[in-house]
Structure 1
Amino acid sequence: MTDEVLYEVADGVATITLNAPDRMNTISATMLAAISERLTEADRDPAARCIVLTGAGRAFCAGLDLQAQSKAESGSLGNLSTGSGAPGELEMRSAPPVVLHNLDTPTIAVLNGGAAGYGLDLALGCDLRVAADSAKLNTGFAKRGILPESGGTWLLPRMVGYAKAAEIAFRGKTLTAAEALDLGLVNHVVPATELAAYADRIAAEIAANAPLAVRAIKRMMRAAESETFEQNVHHVYLQLLPLLGTEDFREGVAAFLEKRDPSFRGR
């Protein structure tokens, strides 16, 4: 496992840190696989009730490592493939944005600095985004002769509406943290010196809730993207039935009646 992707779990929160600050955390081929592996590991770990994705140094992620990508075979996106199975390749379905989209564990992108290209798609793919006031979101794909290949064309219109997404993407705008907040692309903007503590508080609040219920809520919100109202209500009911038999449900009711904070065990 590369040391360019750091991983730790503490107090119910798994933190994944892109750790290549000398190149603004641009993502190398080895990092692609490592990010996917760490995301999957966290999602399977009962001790990880929330996942934080952030970057070391002054940037969140400035995209793919273009120097490495320029040496790759044309059209292969470095080590991404559509499924040829060639050694060293990562199939699209195993790419970090796809893995990220299918996680049941809540995710928070902590934008300590700029997010551009692939890094922006990773940030948009998280459930929540908390940004330092100095952070910027760069959507300049069109200025580089490419398009958002990792979920941006699906995510951005759903977040801000088609017309705003079209203007942002077609103009290749770089958004300040304040502009991103106004558009609803980030949930919170705080001074850079307060970012880590602020994000920790949000992650801790999520981790303190009943994990089985939180995961079910996320699954149903994701399913709602492609279901009718009636389908989703029925789907939710099927998710509710097993939750009613859990220890966590009984603990939640008891804590409410006893006017105390609940202590959930994920059972």
Structure 2
Amino acid sequence: MSEAHDLSAAAEDEVLYEVDGHIATITLNAPDRMNTISRDMLARLTELMVVAEEDTAVRCVILTGRGRAFCAGLNLEEARSGGGISGGINSGPRPTLDLRNTPPTVMHAMDTPTICAVNGGAAGYGLDTALGCDIRLMADTAKMAVAFTKRGVVPESGGTWFLPRMLGWEKAAELIFTGRTLSAEESVEWGLASRVVPAADLMTEARALAEEIAGNAPLAVQASKRMMRMGMNETFADHVHHVYLQLLPLMGSDDMKEGMMAFLEKRKPDFKGR
């Protein structure tokens, strides 16, 4: 068995994928090292996000971790040995990492809604990955560590983009410059998570929220997310124009007809995604 095949097999074990109904669950599965991200694990996570996005049956994705941490960042042991995602950056004139195909950029381009069930500590790369999801539910034992400057780096995976937009400049500056760690309750107070739930109920709550989302017309949900994303960089006039262009195909969809009929007939709609 080749080394490449060994790495791929290990990555498959370290990032699990399951589809149940219309919901895909991606689980970081390296609890012995607090789910720190290796190079192959990173590639596998990206691959599974693309799989979920391309599966028309999947209407919501839950991202979580196994063990006491969601993700404690990059695998520094791998990096220290010359591997990891930083491998090659200082060994030649250009990095070997293609930033166009990493979880933060792939996740940002997804139209399928994403929920991060933050089961434990989220730090470094793990924090940025959690922030890249649309919604975050936090176990009461979970924490968010914005500790980049304490390690001599910047939020390298989207944090400097997410945090000012989520919190405003001043609050983002306070968090990033101090490298502070927030409890689950503080994360909600700051506006970085939707709510805190008991750790034992985290996946049940995340699943219930995902099912609520998946029960709506998927084309409309995806178009809404797409418009929200585009609207962050558009003028109001441009945005209204793009919303209208998105609305036109929806108005001719079977799901819109079903939604209207279900409303008139006072019943739960049965959306098909077409």
Instruction: Give the superposition deviation at 1:188.
Output: 1.1
| Conservation of the 8 A alpha-carbon contact between 1:17 and 1:56 | yes
Instruction: Give the superposition deviation at 1:111.
Output: 0.3
Q: d(CA) in 2 for partners of 1:136 and 1:170?
A: 18
Matching residue of 2:46: 36
Instruction: Give the superposition deviation at 1:47.
Output: 1.1
| Conservation of the 8 A alpha-carbon contact between 1:210 and 1:266 | yes
Structure 2 residue ranges without an equivalent (≥5): 1-7
Q: Give SS of 1:60's match.
A: strand
Matching residue of 1:206: 213
Q: d(CA) in 1 for partners of 2:24 and 2:139?
A: 20
Picking from 7, 11, 35, the partner of 2:21 is 11
Q: 1:93-149: CA deviations, max 9, x gaps?
A: 001111011101000000000000000000000000000011000011001000111
Instruction: Give the superposition deviation at 1:78.
Output: 3.2
Superposition pairs for residues 99-118 of structure 1, below 5 Å? 99-118=106-125
Superposition pairs for residues 83-98 of structure 1, below 5 Å? 89-98=96-105
Q: 1:51-88: CA deviations, max 9, x gaps?
A: 110001111000010111122279x623789xx999xx
What amino acid does structure 2 have at the position aligned with 1:54? T
Structure 1 pair 27–45 and aligned structure 2 pair: CA distance change class (3 A): same
What amino acid does structure 1 have at the position aligned with 2:86? L
Structure 1 pair 234–198 and aligned structure 2 pair: CA distance change class (3 A): same
What amino acid does structure 2 have at the position aligned with 1:255? A
Matching residue of 1:77: 86
Aligned: 1:264 with 2:274: no
Picking from 164, 169, 181, the partner of 1:157 is 164
Q: d(CA) in 2 for partners of 1:79 and 1:9?
A: 35
| Conservation of the 8 A alpha-carbon contact between 1:80 and 1:92 | no
Matching residue of 2:78: 68
Using the size of structure 2 for normalisation, the TM-score is 0.92
Aligned: 1:52 with 2:65: no
What amino acid does structure 2 have at the position aligned with 1:78? G
Structure 1 pair 21–256 and aligned structure 2 pair: CA distance change class (3 A): same
Q: Percent identity?
A: 58
Q: d(CA) in 1 for partners of 2:83 and 2:183?
A: 34
What amino acid does structure 2 have at the position aligned with 1:159? M
Picking from 136, 149, 154, the partner of 1:142 is 149
What amino acid does structure 1 have at the position aligned with 2:59? R
Q: d(CA) in 1 for partners of 2:153 and 2:235?
A: 34
Instruction: Give the superposition deviation at 1:176.
Output: 0.4
| Conservation of the 8 A alpha-carbon contact between 2:39 and 2:83 | no
What amino acid does structure 2 have at the position aligned with 1:168? L
> How many residues are treated as equivalent by the alignment?
262
